[in-house]
Amino acid sequence: MHGPEADPTLRLLLVEARKAQIIYEWLGSWSQCMRWISLVSERPILPDQLNAIRRLLDLNKLATIENLRLLDHDLDTLGMHRVDS
């Protein structure tokens, strides 16, 4: 995470859990990332959860969001890029 404190840029990685392998990556602002996550999340992410994620990122730590269900065509339209292609 870097950039302006109000809306920093961060790197989002989608990992295939069974293989522990990065499949897709995306780079954008915090606000774009939160909109993106709300679009693809299987269930709503509560404001408290978002605040906890932001606190971790502010401390230069990694944050994990589990149980996202995605389709490949959705990822392309949202600007994700396959790492292995």
Domain boundaries, the chain: 9-82
Predicted confidence at residue 2, as pLDDT, reads 61
CA-to-CA distance for 1 and 60, rounded, in angstroms?
A: 7
Beta bridge partners of 16: 21
Determine the average pLDDT of the residues in 60-70: 76
Half-sphere exposure at residue 22, Cβ-oriented, CA atoms within 13 angstroms? 12
Strands (E), the chain: 9-16, 21-29, 81-82
Instruction: Indicate whether this model's pTM tops 0.85.
Output: no
* Mean pLDDT along residues 54-72: 78
Q: Which residues contact 59 (CB under 8 A, 6 or more apart)?
A: none
- Phi/psi at 35 (nearest 5 deg)? -65, -45
Condensed to tens digits (0 to 9), the pLDDT of residues 16-62 reads 878 878 888 888 888 888 888 777 777 778 889 888 888 888 887 78
What integer pLDDT is reported at residue 4 of this predicted model?
Answer: 66
Q: How many CA atoms lie within 13 A of 39 on its CB side?
A: 12
pLDDT at 1 over 60: no
Tokens 């990694």 found at: 62
